[in-house]
């Protein structure tokens, strides 16, 4: 689903995407083929004695050697006559640098040299990527440290739910939803596409028997769920429940729900984007990491693994929210601060590079994003005060600044509306009642860092200020002596060196008429 979501975003931005897959258990080939050109790799010979593949046997998931899979993939590309390939996107835990190198060499022989994006969250093997996406780590600095020995020099890393791949509907819905308020009235239950252990029924029994809790229940089953008839029979006598199957998106149901019960997979980021608290089950090893992080962030409650989940546990935890609605409100706020739904657009921006820069005035809905930008490790290291900014302090500061007539908070966006960074101008008085100066603060989203956009962002913000502020003004930029990128930025934007305003700083100024 991650590749399919990314392909949809790339298509929205005018790119042509082809998908390559093999017909393996749990495949989504029919869904993919309905939307995109699909190239199916040859079927594999099944072993005579079949045994279940362990959840963490990632090489077993592949079904063949990396050498064979690479050979089949190259043959499919050649047979389809695909030319001018710009990017190759790989999302498979059973593939590593060996496969990546075989594809690079094979495509090079066809005179094609695409860049390689690898989607991962295990960090357990070498990867020969140009761009790495791990949306499942909240701590981007930790992610950079873990992946550094596994990646070639020059590989860019996109770490964290800031880059979580999700449908456009989520980024459109998030700013429209009011903050969730008590009491709990509606619960959404979705435990993955197949739910082979029928956790859905366990949860329903807990909520409906012996007497139903006072809740409306939306129950979603994946197309591969083998327990539909049992679920239908259980729900038949409960009019406060509704069964859903084959939905193109869960965004609408998530927006209506007060609480979710689900798995710790990709839908975790969709729920937090919409501020939906959840009881989460870890149904795969890589999901447990996501759940631990979200529990630490105060956004979810851990149900444990499939073996831990009982009907009694689900009823007990849900009843706690009914008795303590303020806890649900707190979790909703924490969840909504984690990501904003723009991850797919950020990944495509990192892949495709330049686009037009526009600007707009910041609004209250930019608070969480502004804090993420300000607390980004690169931003903090370039700041004179490198301490991480506390969320509560930032909340008060941001409210004051939005109302301050001597502060201009500007957000840069691209033509699709993707936020690219911020520029802040703070008016400070000059000495002896001289006209004041405007001091600049600037941060660029890590998705587009290194693409040369800072100059366009700064100039667009200056033009915005010129249009909305009467008379000429003096701009001041202060940077650390070792901050070479910022020095180059301000000199390229026609700033001149001037006397430093504080110790251990370099100062630049520019007059704007």
What confidence tens digit (pLDDT) does each residue in 301-355 have? 999 999 999 999 999 999 999 999 899 999 999 999 999 999 999 999 999 987 7
Q: Select the CATH number that applies to the domain covering 2-159 from these four: 3.30.1490, 3.90.1070, 3.90.320, 3.40.50.
A: 3.40.50
What is 16-38 written as a DSSP string?
---EEEE--TT--HHHHHTTS-E
Mean pLDDT over each residue of the chain, to the nearest integer: 92
Element (H, E) at 411: strand 407-413
What confidence tens digit (pLDDT) does each residue in 19-70 have? 999 987 767 788 889 999 999 999 887 654 455 566 667 778 888 999 999 9
Between these two residues, 26 and 448, which has the higher pLDDT value? Answer: 448
Measure the CA dihedral 181/187/190/195, to 10°. 140
208, 227, 180: which is closest to 318 by C-alpha? 208
CATH of domain 353-512: 3.40.630.30
Contact 492, 455 (CB under 8 A): yes
pLDDT band at 433 (very low <50, low <70, confident <90, very high): low
380, 355, 177, 186: which is closest to 272 by C-alpha? 177
Structure-block tokens of residue 214? 């006072």
Predicted pLDDT at 49:
44
In whole angstroms, give the CA distance from residue 272 to residue 350.
23
Structure-block tokens of residue 400? 């004051």
Q: Return the ∠ at Cα 51 (arms to 46 and 56), rounded to 5°.
A: 105
Domain range summary for the chain, segments of one domain joined by +:
2-159, 174-336, 353-512
Q: Where are the strands (E) in 257-374, listed by range?
A: 259-263, 278-282, 300-305, 358-361
Residue 158 pairs in a beta bridge with 133
In whole angstroms, give the CA distance from residue 474 to residue 496.
11
Predicted pLDDT at 432:
61
Predicted pLDDT at 116:
98
Residue 442 has pLDDT above 90, yes or no: yes
What DSSP state is assigned to residue 68? H
Contact 89, 113 (CB under 8 A): no
What confidence tens digit (pLDDT) does each residue in 281-291 have? 998 888 998 99
CATH topology of domain 174-336: Rossmann fold (3.40.50)
Predicted pLDDT at 431:
62
In whole angstroms, give the CA distance from residue 383 to residue 377.
10
Predicted pLDDT at 48:
45
Contact 491, 454 (CB under 8 A): no
Contact 70, 53 (CB under 8 A): no
Mean pLDDT, rounded, for 438-444: 96
pLDDT band at 5 (very low <50, low <70, confident <90, very high): very high
What confidence tens digit (pLDDT) does each residue in 90-132 have? 999 999 999 999 999 999 998 999 999 999 999 999 999 999 9
Contact 313, 144 (CB under 8 A): no
Do 353-512 and 174-336 fall under one CATH topology?
Answer: no
Percent of the chain with pLDDT over 90: 80
In whole angstroms, give the CA distance from residue 466 to residue 473.
9
What confidence tens digit (pLDDT) does each residue in 179-202 have? 887 789 999 999 988 888 999 999
Query: Reduced to 3 states, what is the DSSP secondary structure of residue 109?
Result: helix
Residue 83 has pLDDT above 70, yes or no: yes
473, 450, 449, 478: which is closest to 463 by C-alpha? 473
**pTM reported for the whole predicted model:** 0.91
């Amino acid at each position: 689903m991650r590749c399919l979501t990314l392909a949809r975003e790339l298509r929205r931005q005018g790119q042509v995407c082809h998908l390559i897959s093999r017909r393996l258990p749990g495949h989504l080939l029919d869904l993919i083929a309905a939307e995109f050109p699909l190239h199916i790799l040859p079927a594999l010979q099944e072993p005579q004695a079949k045994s279940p593949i362990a959840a963490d046997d990632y090489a077993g998931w592949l079904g063949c050697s990396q050498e064979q899979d690479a050979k089949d993939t190259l043959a499919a590309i050649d047979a389809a006559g695909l030319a001018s390939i710009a990017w190759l996107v790989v999302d498979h835990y059973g593939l590593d640098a060996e496969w990546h190198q075989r594809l690079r060499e094979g495509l090079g022989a066809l005179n094609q040299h695409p860049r390689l994006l690898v989607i991962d969250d295990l960090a357990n093997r070498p990867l020969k990527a140009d761009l790495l996406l791990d949306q499942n780590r909240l701590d981007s600095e930790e992610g950079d440290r873990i992946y550094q020995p596994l990646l070639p020099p020059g590989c860019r890393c996109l770490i964290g739910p800031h880059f979580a791949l999700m449908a456009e509907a989520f980024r459109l819905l998030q700013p429209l939803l009011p903050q969730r308020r008590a009491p709990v009235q509606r619960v959404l239950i979705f435990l993955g596409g197949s739910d082979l252990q029928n956790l859905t029924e366990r949860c329903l029994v807990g909520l409906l028997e012996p007497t139903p809790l006072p809740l409306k229940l939306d129950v979603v089953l994946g197309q591969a769920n083998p327990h539909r008839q049992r679920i239908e029979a259980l729900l038949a006598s409960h009019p406060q429940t509704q069964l859903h199957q084959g939905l193109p998106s869960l965004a609408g149901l998530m927006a209506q729900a007060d609480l979710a019960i689900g798995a710790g997979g990709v839908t975790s980021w969709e729920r937090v984007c919409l501020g939906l608290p959840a009881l989460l089950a870890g149904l795969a090893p890589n999901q447990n990491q996501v759940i631990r992080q979200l529990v630490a962030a105060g956004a979810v409650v851990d149900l444990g693994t499939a073996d831990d989940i009982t009907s009694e546990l689900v009823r007990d935890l849900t009843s706690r929210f009914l008795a303590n609605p303020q806890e649900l409100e707190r979790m909703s706020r924490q969840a909504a601060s984690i990501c904003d739904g723009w991850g797919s657009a950020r990944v495509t921006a990192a892949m495709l590079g330049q686009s037009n820069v526009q600007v707009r005035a910041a609004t209250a809905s930019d608070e969480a994003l502004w804090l993420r930008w300000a607390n980004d490790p690169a931003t903090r290291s370039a700041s004179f005060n490198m301490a991480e900014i506390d969320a509560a302090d930032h909340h008060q500061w941001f409210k004051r600044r939005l109302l301050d007539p001597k502060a201009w908070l500007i957000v840069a966006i691209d033509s699709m509306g993707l936020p690219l960074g911020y520029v802040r101008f703070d008016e400070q008085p000059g000495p002896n009642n001289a006209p004041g100066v405007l001091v600049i603060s600037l941060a660029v989203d890590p998705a587009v860092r290194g693409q040369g956009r800072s100059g366009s962002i700064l100039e667009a913000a200056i033009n915005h200020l010129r249009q909305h502020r009467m008379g000429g003004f003096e701009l001041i930029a202060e940077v650390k002596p070792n901050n070479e990128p910022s020095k180059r930025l301000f000199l390229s934007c026609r700033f001149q060196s001037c006397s430093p305003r504080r110790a251990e700083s370099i100062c630049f100024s520019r007059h704007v008429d």
